[in-house]
Chain A
Amino acid sequence: MESMIRFGFVILILSFNLFAKDEEVGRLYYKNFLGHVHENPSKDSTSKTVVQCSHSVKLLSSKNKIDGWVYVEVGEDKGYIEEKHLVVKRPDCLQQKYPKFYNQLDLNLSEMYFWGRLYDHYFEVETRIK
């Protein structure tokens, strides 16, 4: 009887871990023109989806926290985005400022992919008064 109870307890714990959902810890906005949600916290990791400027991104708690990266959910995809590309307030975006001009760019999927990749490859700094 005791072993049955133990077995049931173990099954309960296992099933709890199996169906446990990533907890939402906040929301941020994507600030660049276009960008990628990566499978792993690395610039060269596979892209899971493309996000546009001012896209709301759900922040999820992650077990393996890596400096400079956050675990997010965008639509049905979960993955990693560099923290520096996200902001608290909805940003001003060129797509929204000039929607009709943006349509004229007539971007195809491949171009949207590369545009997002640009922000992965830029090395960025800002000069300041010392």
Chain B
Amino acid sequence: MERSYLFIFTLTTLISFYSNAQEKISPTQEEKEVKVLNFNNIKSVLKNDGLISKKNEKEKLVTKIKEERKKILIEKYSYPSEEDFYKFLTELWLVRNAQVLQWDFPKPEYGIEIAFKGLLEKIGYYNKKIKILMVNSPVISHFALPLGNNEFVFLVSLPFIRTMDLTKVDIALLLLEDYFRLEQKLFINNINVDKTIFDKNFLDETFNKKLIPETLESYSRVILKTGFNFQQQFEITKKMNEVLTSDQPLWGAYYKLLNKIDRLIKSDLLFKDYLKIYPSPELQLQWLKPKKDIL
């Protein structure tokens, strides 16, 4: 009997002790609410849940998207790079002068491009993209224009090569001269282009409306009227001499070609303007003549 009383007493003592302990540890409803309202506690909860880092990530993503969209918009309004600009403008000039140049006519394969390719490869000019456009007009004899990175278009007049009775080697040599003019950026230096536009955009400003017509006008002036000066011609003749000296038959062909042109422009009125563009075959011959040693 005594034992059972002792057991009941111990049990009630333990229960009361436990319930007291429970009251001390668990917070009240208000305490709970305060805890919930405590920003620092929310912050810690958010932090623990990874929500803040997610929010930061999202903000970063939104900023990146905004930057990318702005970049795309700027790209849309970009002026072309220098190379792309000349590709646009060269072809636009050819298109707008199609009636003057008369290049849209049926023609057979002349094989000039093969001869020119062979010459360039022979003297070591590789990875050059060559386009040849035959024109059926004497307003141009031959001329090369830039078409982008390592890409060039060579205009060749059919009346000119017929009147001159030029061989493929002769034509290839003329085109080589033209190639050197492009390589030395003589054409680009002679035309007036607003070079400040390259790699810029016109998103926040109005497009320079004069840019295209003025550049095309400049193209026409150089190609049809002014061409190259004596100094530039001297540089080109010197370069041709340097490159062809090691190949005497080619050097001889070039010398004969200049003689032929010199005779033609002095006798045929149709090509009297040749001198304005390429001065002057007579001087070129003098520059090429080997100097005699005075004993």
Contact = CB atoms under 8 A, between A and B. Distances in A.
Interface string B72-96: 0001111110001001100110111
B143 interface: no
A123 B78 contact: no
B104 A127 contact: no
Interface residues of B, number: 43
A117 B129 contact: no
B134 interface: yes
Given A98-B84, A123-B109, A111 B95 contact: yes
A126 B128 contact: yes
A44 B76 contact: no
A56 to B, nearest CB: 22
Contacts of B131: 122-124
A9 interface: no
A87 to B, nearest CB: 15
A114 B104 contact: yes
Which of A43, A117, A125, A129 is packed against the most chain B CB atoms within 10 Å?
Answer: A125
A100 B80 CA distance: 10
Given A105-B212, A122-B131, A122-B132, A127 B80 contact: no
Given A98-B78, A101-B80, A127-B125, A118 B94 contact: yes
B95 A104 contact: no
Nearest to A128: B126
B113 A123 contact: yes
Interface in B107-151: 107, 109-110, 112-114, 116-117, 120-121, 125-134
Contact of B76 (A33, A99, A118, A122): A99
Contacts of A43: 106
20 contacts: A94-B88, A98-B80, A100-B207, A101-B79, A101-B80, A104-B212, A114-B94, A115-B92, A118-B94, A118-B95, A118-B103, A121-B104, A125-B114, A125-B116, A126-B117, A126-B128, A126-B130, A127-B121, A127-B128, A128-B127
Interface of B: 75-80, 84, 87-88, 91-92, 94-96, 98, 103-104, 106-107, 109-110, 112-114, 116-117, 120-121, 125-134, 153, 202, 207, 209, 212
Given A111-B92, A124-B129, 15 more contacts: A94-B80, A94-B87, A98-B80, A104-B212, A105-B88, A114-B94, A118-B133, A122-B133, A123-B110, A123-B132, A124-B113, A125-B114, A125-B116, A125-B117, A127-B130
Interface of A: 33, 43-44, 94, 97-101, 104-105, 111, 114-115, 117-118, 121-130
What 10 A-B pairs have minimum CB-CB distances, sorted nearest first? Answer: A123-B113, A123-B132, A122-B131, A125-B117, A125-B113, A44-B106, A114-B95, A114-B98, A127-B128, A127-B120
